[in-house]
Chains A and B, each alone.
Chain A
Amino acid sequence: MLFALAVAALVLVPVAVTFSSFARVEGDILAHLTEFVLPELVGNTLWLVLGVAIGVGVLGVSLAWLTAMCEFPGRRLFDWALLLPLALPAYVTAFVAIGLLDFTGPLQTWLRESWGLTGLPEIRSRGGVILVMSLALYPYVYLIAKNAFATQGAIALEAAQSLGLSRTQGFFRVALPMARPWIAAGMMLALMETLADFGTMAIFNYDTFTTAIYKAWYSLFSLPAAAQLASILILFVLVAVVFEQRSRTRMRYGAVGRGAASRRIKLSPALAGLALLYAGAVLAAAFLIPITQLALWTRDVIAADLDARYWAFAWHSVLLAGMGALMVVAVALLLAYAGRQRPGPAMMWTQRLATLGYAFPGAVLAVGLFIPVAALDNWLIDTGRAWFGFDGNEILKGTLLVMLLAYLVRFLAVGFGPIDSGLHRISRNIDEAAKNLGTGAAGLLTRVHLPMLRASLLTAATLTFVDIMKEMPITLMTRPFGWDTLAVRVFEMTSEGEWERAALPSLAIVIAGIIPIILMTWRGAHSHG
């Protein structure tokens, strides 16, 4: 419990810095935003959240059901390949989608010039943003829901059928409701990322709450107004999270049984064909087409841009993402475990607060962390000067420690989601049985729960690893001199609109991100036996 509080306190630092902005209210800027900017973008944001929720929900759940419960040609390939879009930053998918589908893109140009056809739906629109975000983020739901279906789906379905329900009824009335906490955990991650997204929204020029935050900061020169808007966003997320939590604490979930592998549903040839077509189309749109475009662009710039430094960039990225993922997983495990040992409203709030960092717009969180670190540093330096003749101007700033702590605050939710829902799946009867056999709390964790949690831990580590690889604002603000990463390269290229040149570092991020995804799938498959 103490530990959980300490972690929550760490996350509360940037939250407190952000909320402290209310000490200085710039009335004219807020009044302007309220009158001319907010009305439209609140609507925009709500539509976006609703659309992406439906998008990632439908894509993630349906694909998870198909690969976990059904048999169709290519299933084993799709099982892991459908995770690949995780490695692709959403802004890359967005840029490629607009490049291909806009008025100037090849498709519309061809239709116009060969057939005289115009009037295709505009990609730079609300529908376009929702489509791209759904394609980029569905793997969060897919991954977590797949684990749920794989461990409980078959038996649930069998039970439903023995009660006289059809297969479809069984899915909607038994399997789906039973998987709800996992689906919700995945959707929460996707939606928090959507709310905090800036890059994709900038490419679509789609105004959301987060773009208004940056407008207040960068264009209206008011960091306080930006922080105030961010506070409102965070409160909104907190309410949503708690509401979601409330609605499911009334239910208890435990695993019904394991292993769907032997009892997959054999689809009829027609249905199997449809399943193949559907999974293939999603994979193509979300990954294959964007990655092909990236590869083509990379081919044009690789000779000029690829130099020896890329090894260092890639090494920094992998090292930071690896250390960050380990730290996030360890802390998330302890936080989730504390919740199992001492459930209750206080613990629930602690957990919710501790995982809020993911909903922050990245740069706002970076500043919220940097300000207190710099203040502490200034104090340390002054003390050092007065007492020890210290000569320098950085102690904590510009160290990897600050960077890793910042990643922890930002990505704890990503590690916590899968681990917490994994823990929920372990029946309390097992705990009782272990206790009766004389196992203590520590033994329960290491000898009983950890082996059962292996898949969840791997999921958490992979998601965090890939997210850190793609992360930009925190990396930019807290990296020590010379610690440029692949994501920093993407920033250097895109900051002056050189998207094609950004293909090289983007592609490198994807490749480095694919490795743990494949590793996870391979290990995951083996741990299921």
Chain B
Amino acid sequence: MKPTLTRLLAALAFTAAALPALAEEVVVYSARNEQLIKPLFDAYTRETGVQVKFITDKEGPLMARLKAEGKNTPADMLLTVDAGNLWQASEEGLLRPIRSQTLLANVPAHLRDPDNEWFGLSVRARTIVYNTGKVKPAELSTYEDLASPKWKGRLCLRTSKKVYNQSLVAMMITEYGEGKTEDMVRGWVGNLATAPFPDDTKVMEAVAAGQCDVTLVNTYYFGRLMEKSPNLPLAIFWPNQNLKNKAAGVHVNISGAGVTRHAKNPAGAQKLIEWLSSDKAQNLFADVNLEYPVNPKVSPDKTVAAWGGFKQNLINVKEAGSLQTKAVKLMDRAGYK
């Protein structure tokens, strides 16, 4: 009797263990939109047979959802388009540490969480774009310099409500502190030719039309716009290349991911993130949106490579999160809408 029962139990346990393996799936909550991730997930499924189920929304609601669902969340992985929100997810205990030599090797130290709860998967560089008919590259130098009076009435900016501007200002705070950074932001605001714009494309169109001469945007918006209208008088300038302080280098943010604390398939989620950092996926990941690969061994898309190389800012991107609140308040005080 007893052996039979044991055998039965063993058989049951086997079945239970075999079931998920038959249809292994990873569930992703993604703030990166569908057309930018689905091609990758499809490729992963083709390669491994693992199904990827995902749902998209903004980061705020996704994190509120993870929190409310607690241990019963269906999500294994959280994917965002900026480091600040990953930092916040980690602060709220929504993620778990990942132990992976692959990820440590593929993702540079400043583009991942020091506690290994999240990893960057693509790099988004925020740089200067100028009107080639009105500005000589020699006039440009740094983000800080855009606050100087010579740019009075010549600067256009996207709204301070966008996280990319918030993380840029956060980076400035690490070097200059709040007081000096606030003065700089005030300088920017004083130089504005017109009210801030709702998105990067609109602000570049304003520069191209001559409403202003110079602006700050993420490079992939520039790539997208130039693909559509190649004759616009616009060009990229890489700022802060010759600085020696912490603010040296072009400001970068990441699109990245982490494994949720209550993941049902944490190993599967980790494998997916590792795969996303691999050569093959990195090509796809960055190319669908003209971003930079996070893995330094992978070279960017041809269009992107043509803009030339640049030095990245090396402050850990988690500061974008830890200093975001300060940055936002500072921009409010400076009247940057």
Binding site for B on A (CB under 8 A): 29, 32, 36-37, 98, 102-104, 109, 122, 124-125, 202-205, 207, 211, 214-215, 217-221, 223, 363, 366-367, 370-371, 374-375, 377-378, 381, 393-394, 397-398, 473, 476-477, 479, 481-482, 484, 488, 491-493, 495-499
Other A-B pairs, 16, CB within 8 Å; known A32-B332, A378-B72: A103-B194, A103-B206, A124-B195, A125-B195, A205-B159, A214-B60, A220-B329, A370-B65, A371-B64, A375-B68, A394-B72, A397-B69, A496-B289, A497-B200, A499-B199, A499-B201
Q: Is B134 an interface residue (CB 8 A)?
A: no
**B58's contact among A37, A104, A495, A497, by CB below 8 Å, is which?**
A495
Q: With the chains together, A214 CA to B163 CA distance in Å?
A: 12
Q: How many whole Å from A362's CB to the nearest CB in chain B?
A: 10
Type the 1/0 row for B47-90, where 1 means its CB is closer than 8 Å to any CB of A: 00000011111111100110011111110000001000000100
The answer to whether A202 touches B198, judged by C-beta atoms less than 8 angstroms apart, is yes
Nearest chain-A residue to B74 (Cβ)? A393
Q: A378-B70, A476-B56, A495-B58 are in contact. Are A219 and B166 (CB under 8 A)?
A: yes
Q: With the chains together, A202 CA to B58 CA distance in Å?
A: 15
- Which of B28-36, B107-115, B276-284 faces chain A? B28-36
The answer to whether A370 touches B68, judged by C-beta atoms less than 8 angstroms apart, is yes
Q: Is B325 an interface residue (CB 8 A)?
A: yes
Chain B interface residue count: which class?
35 or more
Q: Is B161 an interface residue (CB 8 A)?
A: yes
Nearest chain-A residue to B224 (Cβ)? A498
Residues on A with beta carbons closer than 8 Å to the beta carbon of B209: 103-104, 109
Q: How many whole Å from A126's CB to the nearest CB in chain B?
A: 11
Q: A370-B65, A477-B61 are in contact. Are A205 and B198 (CB under 8 A)?
A: yes
5 A-B pairs whose Cβ atoms sit less than 8 Å apart in the complex: A36-B332, A104-B205, A109-B209, A205-B195, A374-B72
The answer to whether A488 touches B56, judged by C-beta atoms less than 8 angstroms apart, is yes
Q: How many whole Å from B109's CB to the nearest CB in chain A?
A: 25
Q: How many whole Å from B85's CB to the nearest CB in chain A?
A: 9
Q: With the chains together, A219 CA to B336 CA distance in Å?
A: 14
Q: With the chains together, A516 CA to B56 CA distance in Å?
A: 29
Q: How many whole Å from A372's CB to the nearest CB in chain B?
A: 9
**B65's contact among A98, A211, A477, by CB below 8 Å, is which?**
A477
The answer to whether B221 touches A497, judged by C-beta atoms less than 8 angstroms apart, is yes
Q: How many whole Å from A157's CB to the nearest CB in chain B?
A: 47
Scoring A98, A104, A482 by chain B CB atoms within 10 A of each residue's CB, the highest score goes to A104
Q: How many whole Å from A212's CB to the nearest CB in chain B?
A: 10
The answer to whether A371 touches B68, judged by C-beta atoms less than 8 angstroms apart, is yes
Q: How many whole Å from A55's CB to the nearest CB in chain B?
A: 21
Q: Is B253 an interface residue (CB 8 A)?
A: no
Q: With the chains together, A219 CA to B221 CA distance in Å?
A: 22
Q: With the chains together, A102 CA to B199 CA distance in Å?
A: 14
Q: With the chains together, A498 CA to B68 CA distance in Å?
A: 31
Residues on B with beta carbons closer than 8 Å to the beta carbon of A484: 34
Residues on B with beta carbons closer than 8 Å to the beta carbon of A32: 329, 332
Q: With the chains together, A496 CA to B332 CA distance in Å?
A: 24
Nearest chain-B residue to A211 (Cβ)? B161
The answer to whether B74 touches A398, judged by C-beta atoms less than 8 angstroms apart, is yes
Q: A481-B53, A497-B199, A497-B201 are in contact. Are A219 and B73 (CB under 8 A)?
A: no
Q: Is B132 an interface residue (CB 8 A)?
A: no
Q: How many whole Å from B142's CB to the nearest CB in chain A?
A: 25
Residues on B with beta carbons closer than 8 Å to the beta carbon of A109: 209
Q: With the chains together, A219 CA to B134 CA distance in Å?
A: 35
Q: Is B264 an interface residue (CB 8 A)?
A: yes
Q: With the chains together, A103 CA to B197 CA distance in Å?
A: 12
Q: With the chains together, A289 CA to B316 CA distance in Å?
A: 48
The answer to whether B196 touches A205, judged by C-beta atoms less than 8 angstroms apart, is yes
Q: How many whole Å from A29's CB to the nearest CB in chain B?
A: 8
Q: How many whole Å from A206's CB to the nearest CB in chain B?
A: 9
Grouping DSSP codes into helix (H, G, I), strand (E, B) and loop, the A interface class, with mixed when no group exceeds half, is: helix
Q: How many whole Å from A269's CB to the nearest CB in chain B?
A: 44
Nearest chain-A residue to B334 (Cβ)? A36
Nearest chain-A residue to B206 (Cβ)? A104
Q: How many whole Å from A194's CB to the nearest CB in chain B?
A: 18
Nearest chain-A residue to B194 (Cβ)? A103
Q: With the chains together, A215 CA to B329 CA distance in Å?
A: 10
Residues on A with beta carbons closer than 8 Å to the beta carbon of B224: 498
Nearest chain-A residue to B335 (Cβ)? A36
The answer to whether A218 touches B36, judged by C-beta atoms less than 8 angstroms apart, is no
Nearest chain-A residue to B327 (Cβ)? A219
Q: With the chains together, A403 CA to B70 CA distance in Å?
A: 20
**A36's contact among B64, B196, B198, B329, by CB below 8 Å, is which?**
B329
Nearest chain-A residue to B264 (Cβ)? A393
Residues on A with beta carbons closer than 8 Å to the beta carbon of B56: 476, 488, 491-492
The answer to whether B324 touches A223, judged by C-beta atoms less than 8 angstroms apart, is no
The answer to whether A219 touches B328, judged by C-beta atoms less than 8 angstroms apart, is yes
The answer to whether B324 touches A221, judged by C-beta atoms less than 8 angstroms apart, is yes
Type the 1/0 row for B13-36, where 1 means its CB is closer than 8 Å to any CB of A: 000000000000001000101111
Q: A37-B332, A215-B161 are in contact. Are A203 and B74 (CB under 8 A)?
A: no
Residues on A with beta carbons closer than 8 Å to the beta carbon of B35: 492-493
Q: A221-B325, A497-B200 are in contact. Are A476 and B61 (CB under 8 A)?
A: yes
Q: How many whole Å from A477's CB to the nearest CB in chain B?
A: 5
Q: With the chains together, A394 CA to B68 CA distance in Å?
A: 12
The answer to whether B329 touches A363, judged by C-beta atoms less than 8 angstroms apart, is no
Q: How many whole Å from A116's CB to the nearest CB in chain B?
A: 13
Nearest chain-A residue to B201 (Cβ)? A497
Residues on A with beta carbons closer than 8 Å to the beta carbon of B211: 103-104
Residues on B with beta carbons closer than 8 Å to the beta carbon of A122: 194-195
Q: With the chains together, A109 CA to B211 CA distance in Å?
A: 11
Q: How many whole Å from A294's CB to the nearest CB in chain B?
A: 17
Residues on A with beta carbons closer than 8 Å to the beta carbon of B58: 218, 363, 476, 495
Q: How many whole Å from B68's CB to the nearest CB in chain A?
A: 4
Nearest chain-B residue to A204 (Cβ)? B198
The answer to whether A223 touches B64, judged by C-beta atoms less than 8 angstroms apart, is yes
Q: Is B333 an interface residue (CB 8 A)?
A: yes
Nearest chain-B residue to A382 (Cβ)? B72
Q: How many whole Å from B335's CB to the nearest CB in chain A?
A: 9
Residues on B with beta carbons closer than 8 Å to the beta carbon of A214: 60
Nearest chain-A residue to B211 (Cβ)? A103
Q: How many whole Å from B56's CB to the nearest CB in chain A?
A: 6
By Cβ-Cβ distance, the 5 closest A-B pairs, closest first, are A374-B68, A497-B199, A393-B72, A104-B209, A492-B33
Residues on B with beta carbons closer than 8 Å to the beta carbon of A207: 337
Q: With the chains together, A214 CA to B328 CA distance in Å?
A: 13
Nearest chain-B residue to A368 (Cβ)? B64
Nearest chain-A residue to B321 (Cβ)? A221
Residues on B with beta carbons closer than 8 Å to the beta carbon of A124: 194-195
Q: With the chains together, A498 CA to B223 CA distance in Å?
A: 13
Q: Which of B161-204 contact A (CB under 8 A)?
A: 161, 163, 166, 194-202
Q: A36-B333, A103-B194, A481-B55 are in contact. Are A220 and B205 (CB under 8 A)?
A: no
Nearest chain-B residue to A391 (Cβ)? B16
Q: How many whole Å from A215's CB to the nearest CB in chain B?
A: 6
Q: With the chains together, A215 CA to B336 CA distance in Å?
A: 13
Nearest chain-B residue to A217 (Cβ)? B60
Residues on A with beta carbons closer than 8 Å to the beta carbon of B333: 36
Residues on B with beta carbons closer than 8 Å to the beta carbon of A492: 33-35, 56
Residues on B with beta carbons closer than 8 Å to the beta carbon of A476: 56-58, 61
Q: How many whole Å from B292's CB to the nearest CB in chain A?
A: 16
Q: With the chains together, A96 CA to B205 CA distance in Å?
A: 15
Residues on B with beta carbons closer than 8 Å to the beta carbon of A217: 60
